[in-house]
Amino acid sequence: MIFKDKAIIVTGSSRGIGKEIAIAYAKEGAMVTISSRNDESLKSVADEIKSIGGEVLSVAADVSKPEDSKTLIEQTIAKFGKVDILVNNAGITRDNLLLRLSEEDWDNVIDINLKGAFNCLKAVTKQMMKQRQGCIINMSSVVGVMGNAGQVNYAASKAGIIGITKSAAKELASRGIRVNAIAPGFIETDMTDNLPEKAKEELVSAIPLGKLGTVQDVADLVLFLTSEKAKYITGQVINVDGGMVI
């Protein structure tokens, strides 16, 4: 119960990595705000958290909209009285080769993955400064570190997340707020399910540990980085990728 009575927001927590993170916090005694664009898809996650005795708030919010991000933070404060941890996890892919990549797909990915993280970070900062403590995790990707053909928009958004993380860590450290980024490799979720079998096999052959990661692998790292055990770690990008980037 290492997060007992901590108030935590996880964006993009209706499925995949975000859902696992939200449930992992709830199992450790936290009060968790779950969020995604769609109210309906949050219901089953909320039920799962309640079934393990957790306290949960569901907020439908599109992180690309500043007013939604503000509401997400405000509703959490209204319900739990504070925000100890924000996990900026919401993200999408709209892959295409550069020459075929539409302006719309560029804008969508940047708006949700990069501006979305900025919107939530900005909205939570005042509260965390007032508290003189807080912890923020931004979800990057190995693709933001090493690039990937067909993912110019996604790579730009995830590299931008690293810039936000390092700058915010420097800006907020004196207020007791830590900011770190996580760069997962290929994790089994809906996002990677869409890949053709052959592409998956090729990917696995490029992973030294020889398999895709699980949502639990990512959640374990998020919980560690936001725990007291990581109290001297800020401004870092930690890979959880089976050795893809060495």
Q: Which residues bind ligand NAP (CB under 6 A)?
A: 11-18, 36-38, 41, 62-64, 89-92, 112, 116, 139, 141, 184, 186-187, 189-192
Q: CB neighbours (10 Å) of residue 52?
A: 9
Minimal distance in Å, beta carbon 89 to ligand NAP? 5
Minimal distance in Å, beta carbon 116 to ligand NAP? 6
Minimal distance in Å, beta carbon 20 to ligand NAP? 8
Q: CB neighbours (10 Å) of residue 225?
A: 22
Q: Residue 5 or 223: which CB sits closer to ligand NAP?
A: 223
Q: Residue 14 or 127: which CB sits closer to ligand NAP?
A: 14
Minimal distance in Å, beta carbon 106 to ligand NAP? 15
Q: 132 Cβ partners below 8 Å, 6+ apart?
A: 175, 176
Q: Look up residue 82 and give its two tokens.
A: 């504070």
Q: Residue 89 or 226: which CB sits closer to ligand NAP?
A: 89
Q: 221 pairs with which residues across the strands?
A: none
Minimal distance in Å, beta carbon 63 to ligand NAP? 4
Give me the catalytic one of 3, 118, 154, 186.
154
Burial class (CB within 10 angstroms; exposed 0-12, middle 13-18, buried 19+) of 191: middle
154 counts as catalytic: yes
Q: Residue 7 or 112: which CB sits closer to ligand NAP?
A: 112
Q: Look up residue 224 and give its two tokens.
A: 């560690």
Q: 34 pairs with which residues across the strands?
A: 10, 58
Q: Residue 31 or 212: which CB sits closer to ligand NAP?
A: 212
Distance between CA 239 and CA 246 in Å, rounded? 10
Q: Look up residue 40 and give its two tokens.
A: 């309906």
Distance between CA 16 and CA 23 in Å, rounded? 11
Percent helix / strand / coil, the chain, rounded to 5: 50, 15, 30
Q: Which residues are catalytic?
A: 154
